[in-house]
Structure 1
Amino acid sequence: MVDSIEKQWYVLHTYSGYENKVKNNLISRTETMQMQDFIFRVVVPENKVTTVKDGEEKEIIENDFPGYVLVEMVMSDEAWFVVRNTPGVTGFVGSHGGGSKPTPLLPDEVANLLDRMGMSARREEKLDIEIGETISIISGAFAGMQGVVTTKDDEKQQLSVNVEVFGRETPAEISYDNVDKVEY
């Protein structure tokens, strides 16, 4: 039975320090149990931090929320079972125990978390826009403007776009979610 046909983000509680192991286990289980239509993305909230140690600057990856992993999924009984029984997962945040289903994160919470990591909350498998094409910006600071795509990053789901502001070309980084292709 599917409780929700809409994919949403949930928070898993794990043993601290095992977040990446849980992520890898869950991705592996998703493939072996053929749950790709229910479990989409697994993310460990982390950021790159520059530290100085012994007079040298080093860039390290720091876990923002030790003991937690984000998962984008459709909450069906089967998907819930697969995720809940993944080695290292101690439960869902927002579940009251006794087999109750968890509460998903709010869209604003997800957008803020993923934005800090340079990711998009909405996943587009492939954006059908090429470098040099003109796009229309539908939301954000440049909403209502058009721009020319200069670079495209499918991993971060961002475009570099030249937008005309006050008669000058201005480069801008725009998320896939905030653009539409201009049809002539």
Structure 2
Amino acid sequence: MAFKWYAVQTFTGQESRVVQYVQGMIDSGELDGVVSRVLSPVRDVVSVSRGKRVTKQDKYFPSYVLFEMEFTQESAYFVRSINGVMDFVGGRKPRPLKSAEVDRILGHEVEDEGRVVTDSPYKEGDMVSISSGPFKGFDGVVEDVSAEKGKAKVSVTVFGRATPVEVDFAQIEPVS
């Protein structure tokens, strides 16, 4: 059996439903010799919303699902008949993904497993107000952002001098 990876386009927001359906069939043994793996690459992203950390899953390739399968007329018909699937990338005669592409995609999955990516709501030059901590009530300008740590360096004026203060994203809010 020559299992190769193929990309399939899905309707927006249907990726996880397609993966769950196919994974259930793989687990029950209904797809032995047809599809060996299915995935929709995602990573956890932490963002700050209204002063609270929120974790959500971010898709590497929105609206696409990857299938490791043996491409035959029957397997192609099965994949195309799944609710939420539009078609293979490449149409009627899709080409398998290159091994370098698959290694890169699967490498991201392994590399990001256990690591949380933080989405920074602030950028350098933003005016912010510190809402908690020892500098509560101070306004300042964001000098540096460390998205990995979820922190920002804010320059506040203390006793007439600019003082850099490192604060968590949850401790600041934009000045409107």
Q: Does TM-score exceed 0.5, indicating one fold?
A: yes
Match of 2:70 among 68, 71, 74: 74
Q: Relative CO higher for 1 or 2, CA cutoff 8 Å, sep ≥ 6?
A: 2
Distance 1:34 1:19 in 2: 20
Match of 1:60 in 2: 56
Pair member with larger Rg: 2
Name the structure 2 match of 1:102: 94
Post-superposition Cα deviations, 1:103-149, rounded to whole Å, max 9, x if no partner, equal 11000101111111118xxxxxxxxxxxxxxxxxxxxxxxxxxxxxx
| 3-state SS, counterpart of residue 59 of structure 1 | strand
Correspondence for 1:111 among 90, 103, 106? 103
Per the alignment, residue 27 of structure 1 pairs with 23
String of CA shifts for 1:80-122, please: whole Å, max 9, x gaps.
1111111111100022xxxx33111000101111111118xxx
- Calculate the TM-score normalised by the size of structure 2: 0.57
User: How many percent identity over aligned positions?
Assistant: 31
CA shift for structure 1 position 26: 2.4
Q: 1:78–1:36: structure 2 CA closer, same or farther, 3 Å change rule? A: same
Shift of 1:27: 2.8
> Would the aligned equivalents of 1:45 and 1:64 in 2 still touch at CA under 8 Å?
yes
Unaligned 5+ residue runs, structure 1?
A: 120-184
The Cα of 1:57 is off from its aligned counterpart by 2.0
SS in 2 for 1:118: helix
Q: How many correspondences in the alignment?
A: 111
Q: How does 1:132-171 map onto structure 2 within 5 Å?
A: none
For residues 107 and 118 of structure 1, what CA distance do their matches in structure 2 show?
A: 16
Kindly indicate whether the alpha-carbon contact (under 8 Å) linking 1:11 and 1:70 is maintained by their aligned counterparts in 2. yes
- RMSD in angstroms over aligned alpha carbons? 1.9
